[in-house]
Structure 1
Amino acid sequence: MTAGQGAPLVAVIIEDDPGVQSLLDEVFLAAGFRTVLAGSGPEGLAAVAAHRPVITTLDINLPGIDGFEVARRIRQVSDTFIIMLSALAEESDVVLGLTSGADEYLVKPFRPRELRARIEALLRRTRTSATEQAPLAAPAPAIPAPAAPPTTPSVPLPVAAAADATVATWRGLVHRDLSLDLDTRLVLVAQRPVELTPTEFDLLAALLEAGRRVCSKADLALGLRGPAGDAHDRVSEPDKRAIETHMANLRRKLRDSPTAPRYIETVRGVGYRLTSDDRHV
């Protein structure tokens, strides 16, 4: 479901500046959302838990709990897209924001048109609606196994999926002992579930679908904007740095070493791709 079709999608706005809060409210209402406003970190956490928004905007300098900690706590219970908004423009602040779980980072003052473009790009992303998903802490099984007993805590890979092959089956993607299901958005490593943010999941899916083809940072950034995005959209250096940060977070969660990768290797000066099938690490 997209904004403007059926019941409106929900956006939670966590912002203590009345002027900025009002501007954000106007942008989301114009995009067809129902908005929930919160003026502090604790209020924002309660709003996300109660309303299960598709998108959440998050200021950093909040009363009660700062935005970085709020983002980390949101990620424990929700896969809502997080757009972090802040006057802090240093690269270290952007990296910290993305590492905390944000999907986008916009520096204040921002243009309403730019925010609207980010909202539309997030809505184009191929994913299950946050309003229809269970919390990340309790993922559903992804890929069925022929002989899995009912009490098996994690689901084995299909017999047809060889350990060192990348194949598509049951809307699932497999590489070595890493598997990803596009429908349930569950990721398993050695049969154990791995919790990823929506952006990390989409980046991993793009790499698995590309196989050994190299994905540049610009390709990945454009891919996150969705199939309806313009192929000539500008990808800025901050966009590329954001991809680097998301990739670093993804590797950390997969326990994949950049220097001796099992799943994702860096092609220096170009981008990223899967490791070769016959490479044993």
Structure 2
Amino acid sequence: MPGANARALEKAASIPADALILDLEDAVAPDAKADARERVAAAAASGAYGHREVTIRVNGPGTAWHADDLRAAAAAGPDAVVVPKVESAATVREVERALEAAGAPNHTAVWAMLETPRAMLDARAVAAAGERLSVLVMGTNDLAKELHAEHVPGRAPLLTGLSLALLAARESGKVILDGVFNDVKDLAGFEAECVQGRQLGFDGKTLIHPAQVAPCNEVFAPSEAQIERSRRIIEAFDEATREGRGVVTVDGRMIENLHVEDARRILALAEAVAGR
């Protein structure tokens, strides 16, 4: 949500998203940065957004606004600070030190945006850096620009970078969010990209328009069929364990511990969605 737009910040309280990024970076013109910073800090501290995680995207390291943004965000105490253009573990540590020096509460996490070839190649080190870092966010627009790549269905030019970041996130136990889809009128294309992101392993997707929220929620939430199958897998495995059987099948397929772990993950996600 653009931080300079008071109406957008107000509307955000009614959008059925899991998290909000109140933006001080790309969505705010240079001469509006200071006013937007004050408005966003007040909004993040207001408690007006209910169950939604509230984050503030600051301007990137090396910009004239970065340090002031971090201080304001620390004082506001959002759920997280989203940092663009993160390319190294050192940047994560510098951001964490700045937040701590400014008195950021312990609950304020860091979300690191990976947007460049260097970020993809160093994603493992970035993902393992810092105690506040909890989420990796793909900056696919900037990555495509840096690669001189085209935006095409299926995102073939970006798949190597996306995969490297996913590997880093899963190794380090971090949440990872897919990048944005630019054409807000192409809901079919958007949904197809959501499906691709889910299939690749992303935990969710960053969005740029309220119309994208409902289809995204539907794609990334477990389906009724997945929920029912997960329950049957757990029940069959538990029954086999009680009976001392070493072989378990569900729908004609062999079931192992890894399938049970994934079934438990799906049910936990379904319960979290239902709770929202």
TM-score when normalising by structure 1: 0.30
More strand by share: 1
Asked which structure has the greater CA Rg, the reply is 2
TM-score when normalising by structure 2: 0.30
More helix by share: 2
